[in-house]
C-alpha cells in the first residue's frame, strides 16, 4: 500500500515499472500491478509533466452538477484524445440521484456504514460502458469525512491526476454540506497500470494540496447550480487552477514556471 500519495507519486511510478508485468490491451501495452491501494488526503493532487489538471477540475464540476458535458471537457483539454470523453465516464449522471440520499443518510446517521455511491450499475455488466470506478463509500469518524474507493482499473499517468481531484473535491463538498472536516481517501485498484506510450512520467514539483474556496456553496442544490454555471461560463483557468480553488502552497502557474526554469537551468 502507498500512503501519503502526494509525496510518493514518483516512488509509486518507479515501483510500478520495477515490479509490474507487461500486459497487452486494446489501447496499447501497459505495465500493471494488481490489487494496489493508495491513500491520500482529500485535497491532494499531483501535476505530471505533459498533464492537464483542467480535466480534473472539469470532471469534478460535472460530477457535482450531475451532468455530462463533452464540449466543456474538450475546451478544458483541446489536445487530449477526445474519443475518451464518453457518457460512460460521466460519473455525475450515474450518481445524480444517489447523492441526495447519501447526504440524508449521513445526516440522519453519521456513523452509518451504508453511505455508498454505486458508479457502475447492473446494466453495465462487463461491457465497454463499465466505468473505471465501482463504488465510493463515505465514513464519518471523529468529525471527519473519509472515502473508500473501489476501482476496477486505474491509469496512473492519465487517470490518477484527474481522479484524485474529483474524489478529493467530492469529499470536501460532502464534508462542507454536513458540517465536518474532510479526511482521508483510500483507493484500491484491481488493475493499477501505466501505458508504455506515456512513459517516462515525471511530475512538476510544487504545491500538492487544494481546498475549495468560499465561492463553493454549502447545500447540494446550490452546489449543483453553481457547478453548472461554472461549466457553461467557458472560463479558462490560468495555471490550471480555477478561481474557486485555493492552493495551500505556491502561486499556481508562476510557481510551476519558476520550477521549470530552475530545472532547465540545471540541465544546461
What is the dihedral sign for C-alpha 54, 91, 46, 267? negative
Q: Cβ distance 221 to 78 under 8 Å?
A: no
∠ CA 39-45-47, nearest 5°, is: 130
> Concatenated DSSP letters for 68-111?
--HHHHHHH-TTS-GGG--GGG-HHHHHTTHHHHHHHHHHH-TT
Beta strand 181-195 with 144-155 is: parallel
What is the dihedral sign for C-alpha 257, 259, 262, 264? negative
Catalytic pick among 46, 63, 73, 132 = 132
Q: Does the active-site annotation cover 128? A: no
Rounded Cα–Cα distance for residues 241 and 102 (Å): 29
**Residues acting as catalytic residues:** 132
Amino acid at each position: 500500500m502507498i500512503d501519503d500519495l502526494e509525496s510518493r507519486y514518483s516512488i509509486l511510478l518507479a515501483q510500478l515499472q520495477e515490479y509490474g508485468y507487461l500486459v497487452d490491451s486494446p489501447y496499447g501495452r501497459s505495465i500493471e500491478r494488481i490489487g494496489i491501494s493508495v491513500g491520500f488526503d482529500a485535497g491532494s493532487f499531483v501535476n505530471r509533466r505533459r498533464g492537464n489538471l483542467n480535466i480534473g477540475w472539469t470532471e469534478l464540476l460535472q460530477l457535482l452538477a450531475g451532468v455530462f458535458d463533452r464540449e466543456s471537457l474538450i475546451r478544458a483539454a483541446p489536445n487530449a484524445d477526445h474519443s475518451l470523453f464518453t457518457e460512460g465516464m460521466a460519473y455525475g449522471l450515474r450518481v445524480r440521484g444517489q447523492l441526495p440520499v447519501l447526504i440524508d443518510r449521513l445526516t440522519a446517521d453519521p456513523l452509518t456504514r451504508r453511505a455508498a455511491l454505486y458508479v457502475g450499475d447492473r446494466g453495465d455488466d462487463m461491457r465497454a460502458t463499465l466505468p473505471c470506478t465501482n463504488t465510493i463509500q463515505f465514513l464519518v469518524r471523529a468529525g471527519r469525512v473519509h472515502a473508500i474507493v473501489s476501482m476496477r482499473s486505474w491509469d496512473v499517468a492519465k487517470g490518477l491526476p484527474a481522479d484524485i481531484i474529483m474524489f478529493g473535491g467530492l469529499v470536501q463538498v460532502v464534508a462542507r454540506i454536513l458540517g465536518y472536516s474532510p479526511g482521508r481517501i483510500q483507493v484500491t485498484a484491481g488493475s493499477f497500470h501505466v501505458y508504455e506510450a506515456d512513459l517516462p512520467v515525471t511530475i512538476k514539483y510544487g504545491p500538492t494540496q487544494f481546498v475549495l474556496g468560499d465561492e463553493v456553496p454549502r447545500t447540494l442544490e446550490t452546489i449543483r447550480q453553481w457547478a453548472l454555471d461554472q461549466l457553461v461560463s467557458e472560463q479558462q483557468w490560468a495555471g490550471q487552477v480555477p478561481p474557486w480553488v485555493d492552493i495551500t502552497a505556491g502561486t499556481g502557474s508562476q510557481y510551476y514556471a519558476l520550477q521549470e526554469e530552475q530545472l532547465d537551468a540545471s540541465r544546461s
